[in-house]
Amino acid sequence: MTQIKNIGVFTSGGDAPGMNAAIRAVVRTAMYYGIEVTGIRRGYDGMGKGEFVTMNRKSVSNIIQRGGTILKTARCDNFRTPEGRKNAYEQLLKHKVDALVAIGGDGTFTGAKVFGNEYDIPVVGLPGTIDNDLVGTDFTIGYDTAINTVVDAVDKIRDTAESHDRLFIVEVMGRDSGLIALRTGIATGAEAILIPESKTGLEGLFNRLEFGRKDKTSRIVIVAEGDDTVGGAFEVGRLVQEKFPNYDTRISILGHIQRGGAPSCMDRVLASRVGAAAVEALRDGHRNEMIGLINGEIAYTPFEHAIKHHQGIDPNMIKLVEMLSM
């Protein structure tokens, strides 16, 4: 067992609901094992600038239900340079931080991997991103909350769609991944989804609209932000309107509301479990690994592997969207 005395914890990249629950779990578990915790504000950027704050049990009171991250987050170009990382390491030394828990996504772990290779400091990561696009965990922290927010928003839009017999093109987050679009497409009874991973694209959509049930009084199409079929929801909307002038077509970009809000129960439980496991992993000598949850069990995945692969799309679920909205 490694003798770790002071764990630094930080959030990096886009914020996600449940990050606070994860911070709380790291802090409280460390305290439980007699380890000190240093909060690092604004991710790698704050690490380089020495934005360090001593955490105790009370610093994480009453935050489990809060969206965002109390440690704040930032993107950091500086950390991409060897000087930036050297600087960050010196700050850690100065504050006697001898291990790190990095909460974030792909970019966060890329930084962590390089840093963990260059300097002798154990780093583990927690999957905190609404996109769910990491391997090594069934779900990422924030994904469940985000899809509930989308579903709630589309339920509202459906009211208007029904009342006006309209077709709505709804754009959801997911720059490289259609996972938000996929589950919310099923859950909102969407006519079709457009996602980066599928290539049926516009043709498929047009077919659905042309040969689908005619007595429908509203139609929803979910488009992932990163879908490049034709270049975004507005362009999809334009083409649908052109091809189906009799449909009253509208576009809605859900945008940033998808990142915020009180985390769902599952996101809090996930964050709590992997947060506690991260501290235990560091004590057990793990390093350069992401701590996730697979089939209900804690799973350890080398950063190397987590950032090179992405969670794929189950083709049966794509088919399900279509079959059930008929």
Write out the catalytic residue numbers: 131
Q: Please identify, among the stretches 59-67, 90-98, 119-127, 235-243, the one whose residues bind a second copy according to the rule CB under 8 A.
A: 59-67
Q: Choose which of 2, 5, 54, 57 interacts with a second copy (CB under 8 A).
A: 57
Tokens read off for 183? 């589950």
Q: Is 106 annotated as ligand-binding?
A: yes
The residue among 27 and 97 lying less far from a second copy, judged by its C-beta, is 27
The residue among 120 and 296 lying less far from a second copy, judged by its C-beta, is 296
Interface with a second copy in residues 62-81 (CB under 8 A): 62, 64-69, 72-74
Q: Is 133 annotated as ligand-binding?
A: no
Q: How far apart are CA 216 and CA 74, in angstroms?
A: 45
Q: Choose which of 9, 23, 25, 318 interacts with a second copy (CB under 8 A).
A: 25
Q: How far apart are CA 142 and CA 136, in angstroms?
A: 15
Interface with a second copy in residues 94-133 (CB under 8 A): none
The residue among 150 and 194 lying less far from a second copy, judged by its C-beta, is 150
The residue among 73 and 229 lying less far from a second copy, judged by its C-beta, is 73
Cα angle for residues 13, 19, 24 (degrees, 5° grid):
135
H or E element that contains 164: helix 143-164
Interface with a second copy in residues 162-221 (CB under 8 A): 162-165, 168, 183-184, 186-189, 213, 215-217
Do 18 and 263 form a contact (C-beta atoms < 8 A)? yes
Does position 252 interact with a second copy (CB under 8 A)? The reply is: yes
Nearest approach, Cβ of 67 to a second copy (angstroms)?
4
Tokens read off for 100? 């790190």
Number of residues that bind a second copy (CB under 8 A): 82
Tokens read off for 150? 């989308």
For the CA atoms of the chain, what is the radius of gyration? Answer: 22
Do 243 and 206 form a contact (C-beta atoms < 8 A)? yes
Q: Choose which of 125, 237, 261, 292 interacts with a second copy (CB under 8 A).
A: 261
Nearest approach, Cβ of 268 to a second copy (angstroms)?
4
Q: Is 175 annotated as ligand-binding?
A: yes
The letter for the amino acid at 149 is T
Q: Is 169 annotated as ligand-binding?
A: no
Cα dihedral 144→147→148→151 (10° resolution): -160
Count of alpha carbons within 13 angstroms of residue 188, beta-carbon side: 34
Residue 304 vs residues 164, 199, 288: alpha-carbon distances, Å: 50, 28, 8
Interface with a second copy in residues 271-290 (CB under 8 A): 272-273, 276
Q: Is 25 annotated as ligand-binding?
A: yes
Q: Which residues are annotated as a binding site for Mg(2+)?
A: 106
